[in-house]
Amino acid sequence: MKDSNSNTSSSSNITRTEPLGQNIIKLISNLCFSVFVFSVLIFTVIAITYQPPDPWLQSSPALTNLFTQSQNATFRIDSSIIKTGEDLSPSPQEPPLPLPPATVSTPAVTEAVIEKAEERIANSTPPLPSPTACVETLNCSDPRVLLAVQRFNLRAFKSIAFFDYQTPVNGSVAGECDVAWRFRNKREKSWRKYRDFRRFRISVTDECKYKVVHAGGWHSGSNARRNMTRTSGGKGVKTLPPRVSNRDDEINDTIPTLGSESNFRNGKYLYYSRGGDYCKGMNHHMWSFLCGLGEAMYLNRTFVMDLSVCLAATYNPSNKDEEGKDFRYYFDFEHLKEVASIVEEGEFLRDWKKWDKTHVKKKKVPVRKVVTHKVTPMQLKKDKSTIIWRQFDAPEPENYWYRVCEGEAAKYIQRPWHALWKSKRLMNIVTEISGRLDWDFDAVHVVRGEKAQNKELWPHLDYDTSPEALLEKLKGMVQPWRNLYIATNEPYYNYFDKLRSNYKVHLLDDYKELWGNTSEWYNETTLLNNGKPVEFDGYMRVAVDTEVFYRGKTRVETFYNLTKDCKDGINTC
């Protein structure tokens, strides 16, 4: 009996302990599930609020902090060159930028393309005569001559993509052919093409094939250069004798017009009045301009654009701000027109004034005036006014355009960096310099100027960029007697003469004729400036210097290779 009671008691204890174990298991399960749900919630919030980076590989706030002074929220004015759309690689997630509708994409000439062309020639009917029959009088128009030139170029210029070869023409003597083509540097992300024409000496191999035995330098094939027909001004159009020209006839940076009154009235516009960004550094100016353009794209409106640029004093020998510069001197207006809806400010204001003057009051153009950047783009999204007019009349820094894109707006406004390319006129100078060096050169960037004199922020920079120190550093990085391009803000031309004992030194001022008063750049910018000559200013110099530097095979940087000083001064590395 005692045993029976004992068993009953033991069974009762087990029964009482079982719910406790189940409760612990349930508690643990509920806790794990709660952690899982909480994790999913956090991940969802991050996914919703995450702002993808700008093409400068930094977020909008990070870039603002990078260029902004804490004292007055204005960008630092320095001599750096802003990276534009053709310098930036698309991220792995982004598809390549599509070509505009007016652009025809021509495939590059490759070894495979050449082999296919050779097969077509071999199977042609009737077959072409053997090259041995042409030794005495070389026929430059023979398609096999062009194939020999194409194959030579692929071997000689591995950093270049070639397009649009023209049929070769006779050179100056027998056995020579001049050939023209278009090309693009493979490091450039744009679809722009440049023009070269060279002279080639052709021979016939033992296998009865054409072969290039000598190639002339940049633009040496003068017979393949196009002729331009000139006309005089005035009432009667008079045709002048043709002249040879390197002019880039593909540049079209004319100002678009709105057309009829009805076109103007039916449009939707975003108009920014001039603010405190005017006469600030170019980096600041473009950061603000792309904010306005990005808002216009977000609102699906045409952006009213002021082509007048005030160049900050830091880029001018006079050390004074210079107004009245044209946007088209520095950036590619043709490309901007292709990828964004824009209208020039003067054209816009004329049409606006004309409409309001010729219509009764009740039919005047509806305008929404916005007097503070604190009115966000999201609040304007559903506004039906023909013109949204942002006015920047507050004191600095409240009157900066880029303030519109700060805060919550940064999640909605994407700056269209792909729309901003450097001026092709400047890039033609870059291409000319690189071409004269046969695309086979090394480059060093030597920062001096005021930084070298400021020993408090850059204690070692002056010595580390001295000719003696430069020579010792470069000996371990650049092979002797290579073409060495020096991109620098050092004003004294002969400063780098010591390097000439080991290298073929090239400086920007060695190519002054490319922007001199007989150059195409000079003629074309003078036309843009209503017949007044345009100065090749400090920003243009920095832009060309930097782009040539980018094209060097070996590139030596000041603050990475030459000195341990920090780029922005002590303790900023």
**For 169, phi and psi rounded to 5 degrees?**
-125, 165
- Taking the alpha carbons of 114, 115, 120, 124 in that order, is the dihedral positive or negative? positive
- Predicted confidence at residue 135, as pLDDT, reads 57
Task: Determine the pLDDT at residue 74.
Answer: 38
pLDDT of 375-387, one tens digit each?
Answer: 999 999 999 999 9
In which band, very low, low, confident or very high, does the pLDDT at 155 lie, cut at 50, 70 and 90? very high
pLDDT given at position 12? 47
Express each pLDDT in 20-44 by its tens digit: 666 777 777 777 777 777 777 776 6
* Distance separating alpha carbons of residues 286 and 401, to the nearest angstrom: 10
Strand, helix or coil at 110?
coil
- The pLDDT of residue 95 is 42
Would the pLDDT of 452 be above 50? Answer: yes
Token pair of 134 as six digits: 């042409």
- Residue 64, Cβ neighbours under 10 Å: how many? 18
* Beta strand 504-507 pairing with 483-488: parallel
Name, in order, each residue with C-beta under 8 angstroms of 13's C-beta and a sequence gap of 6 or more.
Answer: none
3-state secondary structure of 445: strand
Q: Is the pLDDT of residue 372 over 70?
A: yes
The residue with greater pLDDT, 225 or 229, is 225
Residue 246, CA distances (Å) to 47, 75, 153, 262, 438 in order: 52, 39, 21, 41, 18
Of all residues in the chain, the percent with pLDDT exceeding 90 is 60
Predicted pLDDT at 241 = 45
- Does pLDDT of 70 surpass 50? no
In the predicted model, what is the mean pLDDT of residues 301-306?
A: 96
DSSP string, 173-204: STTEEEEEEEEEETT--S---EEEEEEEEEEE
- 170-199 residue pLDDT tens: 999 989 999 999 999 888 878 889 999 999
Confidence grade of residue 236 (pLDDT, cut at 50, 70, 90): very low
Residue 64 pLDDT > 50, yes or no? Answer: no
3-state helix, strand, coil in the chain (%, to 5): 40, 15, 40
pLDDT of residue 228: 46
- Averaged over 277-299, what is the pLDDT? 95
- Tokens representing 523 are 């003629």
Q: Quick one: pLDDT band at residue 208, thresholds 50, 70, 90?
A: confident
